[in-house]
């Protein structure tokens, strides 16, 4: 059987910052950003992670994470699940005692993700251009610790997301996040719609962009 040192992943960056999204917003977190993504969402803000990066042994990744002595670790991308060894990485991070979350675009199967990992699963809206790629069977593998995320570009996206919440009883599965796409939907407008319709969702603005703009590594 190959040792951990024999397994590797293509890594775009590993950095220590404040979590900018999800229910863990504001918490110091190590981010492990994997290279590559099969989607091309219209609002993507990490296109630099589509290609490039460096191949790193899993043991080296774990060592780099440990240098920051974090409590929280987020595995993100790109699309982490596009690399099969991401499952092994998340398991090893959990075994090391970190509180681990996964940010995934929702088009790849999450059923094999370690149950200790908090999954943040996107549902792609019509304006994303990738709605047809949603793997709705993933909804059956969500636990109360997980979160469903919608990035909304306008009122049509909002109405679509609202309908999906109703059809799939999403708020009864786990927390639901509504996030306005930067430069396309004003957070205030989204807040007013949520209040008007009494939706049981969390309005999410990207803290890291408020603090650091679109700078990579934050």
Q: What domain range is 18 assigned to?
A: 4-212
Q: What is the CATH number of the domain that holds 98?
A: 3.20.20.70
Digit-coded pLDDT (tens) for 103-152 = 999 999 999 999 999 999 999 999 999 999 999 999 999 999 999 999 99
Counting the structural domains of the chain, the total is: 1
CA dist 218 and 216 (Å) reads 6
- Alpha helix ranges (H) inside 109-206: 155-168, 187-197
pLDDT confidence tier of residue 58, bands split at 50, 70 and 90:
very high
- What contacts 72, CB < 8 A, 6 or more positions away? 19, 24, 27, 28, 29, 30, 98, 99, 100, 101
**Looking at 41-98, which runs of residues are DSSP E strands?**
54-57, 72-76
**What are the CA-CA distances from residue 218 to residues 30, 174, 210 (Å)?**
10, 27, 11
Per-residue pLDDT, averaged over 26-39, amounts to: 96
Is residue 1 predicted with pLDDT exceeding 50? Answer: no
**In-domain check, residue 131:** yes
CA dist 73 and 156 (Å) reads 34
**In-domain check, residue 217:** no
Token couple for 187 = 């957070």
8-state DSSP, 181:
P
Under a CB-based contact definition with an 8 Å cutoff, are residues 101 and 130 in contact?
A: no
**In-domain check, residue 60:** yes
- pLDDT score for 212: 76
Under a CB-based contact definition with an 8 Å cutoff, are residues 157 and 119 in contact?
A: no
**In-domain check, residue 11:** yes
Digit-coded pLDDT (tens) for 155-202 = 999 999 999 999 999 999 999 999 999 889 999 999 999 999 999 999
**In-domain check, residue 73:** yes
Considering the chain, what is the average pLDDT of its residues? Answer: 94
**Of 70, 93, 98, which is closest to residue 80 (Cα–Cα)?**
93
CA dist 156 and 52 (Å) reads 35
**In-domain check, residue 49:** yes
Under a CB-based contact definition with an 8 Å cutoff, are residues 142 and 173 in contact?
A: yes
Token couple for 59 = 């043991």
Is residue 3 predicted with pLDDT exceeding 60? Answer: no
**In-domain check, residue 45:** yes
**In-domain check, residue 202:** yes
């Amino acid at each position: 059987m190959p040792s951990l040192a024999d397994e590797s992943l293509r890594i775009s960056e590993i950095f220590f910052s404040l979590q900018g999204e999800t229910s863990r917003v504001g918490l110091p977190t190590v981010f492990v950003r994997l290279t590559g993504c099969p989607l091309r969402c219209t609002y993507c803000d990490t296109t630099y992670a589509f290609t490039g990066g460096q191949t790193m042994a899993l043991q080296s990744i774990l060592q780099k994470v440990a240098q920051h002595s974090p409590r929280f670790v987020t595995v993100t991308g790109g699309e982490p699940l596009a690399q099969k060894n991401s499952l092994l990485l998340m398991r090893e991070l959990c075994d090391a005692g970190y509180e681990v979350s996964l940010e995934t675009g929702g088009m790849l199967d999450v059923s094999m993700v370690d149950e200790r990992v908090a999954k943040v699963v996107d549902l792609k809206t019509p304006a994303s251009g990738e709605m047809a790629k949603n793997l709705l069977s993933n909804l059956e593998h969500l636990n109360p610790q997980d979160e469903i995320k919608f990035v909304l570009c306008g009122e049509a996206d909002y109405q679509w997301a609202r309908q999906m919440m109703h059809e799939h009883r999403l708020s009864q599965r786990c927390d639901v996040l509504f996030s306005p796409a930067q430069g396309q939907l004003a957070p205030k407008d989204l807040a007013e719609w949520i209040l008007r319709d009494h939706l049981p969702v969390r309005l999410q603005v990207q803290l890291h962009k408020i603090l650091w703009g679109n700078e990579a590594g934050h």
